[in-house]
A and B are shown apart, each in its own frame.
Chain A
């Protein structure tokens, strides 16, 4: 019985000691903590150059395609207009 009491005291003392040690430890690092982008490890950093090149290339190509599209539509309408005016002139003279 005395042995049991002694064991119980030892276990409780160890548990209390463990709880005290745990309470003194710093809190675990939060997962949503802010980390500046330039302090990320290299494997987590995105290279900027491909994004920049893609953005500028897209702008240039889209503007060029639009200018070509409007110019082609304008040429087509201009040709149709000249053909119609020609037909009207021939109709008037005939």
Chain B
């Protein structure tokens, strides 16, 4: 692990401790009230979900064209984070929607595309675990579909009729709502980077174990 890992992990822990204070101090939204505070974990989770899909897709492209195993390890690590942050998004969203919309789920474009993106990441991991030889390239191809879905998820709310808020909400947020949101987003981003580094390290160590077994057999 790099030397900066532990200090950054401590900073991330402190940021996670401070986040609830900022979120509690943020004013209540006028129409939704208390339940709107789910926004401060739902939106950063969704951003990390999309970021993970982009990282996985780019690393997969580089693996497919250059055959670099480090890119493959990065893609695998990112796919696991897509599943993790996707679960957080797909669980916190309905909990908010139940109160704000009166329903747990709507089969609108953004929600359905997000679920599809999450299922692509799950399929990637299943393929890597049970796919056998050659599954790395197949999974890399699958990751491209996951990445192609990201802009569709993002802009879908602006083009199709939906009850989900549009992309214009965040840029127009008042400071009292914006500060806790951006602080929470920075915390989630740091956590994402630390988890990605940990997960890549796991794959590096596994690759070393495989190399040692091969050298013992030879």
List residues of A whose CB falls within 8 A of some B CB: 36-38, 46, 48-49, 51-52, 54-56, 58-59, 62-63, 66-67, 70-71, 73-74, 77-78, 80-81, 84-85, 87-88, 91
Instruction: Kindly state the separation between the CA atoms of A38 and B35 in the bound complex, as whole angstroms.
Output: 13
* Chain B interfacial positions (CB closer than 8 Å to A): 20, 31-35, 37-38, 41-42, 45, 84, 87-88, 91-92, 95-96, 98-100, 102, 191, 195, 198-199, 201-202, 205-206, 208-209, 212-213, 215-216
CB A36 to nearest CB in B, in angstroms, measures 7
Q: Which residues of A contact B212 (CB under 8 A)?
A: 81, 84-85, 88
Residue of A36, A48, A67, A80 touching B209 (CB-CB under 8 A): A80
Which of chain B's residues have a CB closer than 8 A to the CB of A88?
A: 212, 215-216
Number of A-B contacts (CB under 8 A): 85
Q: How far is the CA of A91 from the CA of B195 in the complex (A)?
A: 36
Q: Are A59 and B209 closer than 8 Å at their CB atoms?
A: no
- For the complex with contacts A59-B45, A84-B213, 5 further pairs of A-B residues with Cβ separation under 8 Å are A52-B34, A55-B92, A70-B195, A73-B202, A74-B198
* Cross-chain contact of B99 among A48, A56, A87 (Cβ < 8 A): A48
Closest to B102 in A: A37
